[in-house]
Structure formats: C-alpha cells, structure tokens
Amino acid sequence: MFERERDRERAAARAGGKGKNGDDGLTPEQRRERDGKALQEKQAKKAAQAAGASSGGGAAAGKGPAKK
C-alpha cells in the first residue's frame, strides 16, 4: 500500500501541474469566451500571413528562382 502512494506522489511531482484538465478557476462560459478569442486571433494571424504571402508577386520571396 505504501509503495503505491509513494508512486502516485512521484508521478504527480513529475507532472508538475501540467495537463489539459487542470483547474484554471474559470467557469465553462468564461473558458469558452477565452478559447474563442484565442481562436479568432489565431485565424486572423493566419489570414494575415496568407495575404502577405500572396502579395509577393510571382515566386515566393527569398525562395530562389521560380521553377517552370
């Protein structure tokens, strides 16, 4: 019995409080709002990068000559 408890303590120490299911103190509604904002920012950043890449004019900038 004692060995099992010690192993659990060691496993918890190794985890270091990591994990997706950690309690962040938010309600489900607050978590949805936070995650939604993060997703919108990520999508906006990706769209901006795509727009920047498409306005390069021909070959991708810094990638060498265009292949034909």
pLDDT in tens, the chain (68 residues): 689 999 999 998 888 765 556 667 889 999 999 999 999 999 999 999 998 887 765 555 556 666 66
Confidence (pTM): 0.45
pLDDT of residue 48: 93
pLDDT of residue 54: 77
pLDDT of residue 27: 92
The domains of the chain are located at 1-51
pLDDT of residue 53: 81
Q: Quick one: three-class SS letters along the chain?
A: CHHHHHHHHHHHHHHCCCCCCCCCCCCHHHHHHHHHHHHHHHHHHHHHHHHHHHCCCCCCCCCCCCCC
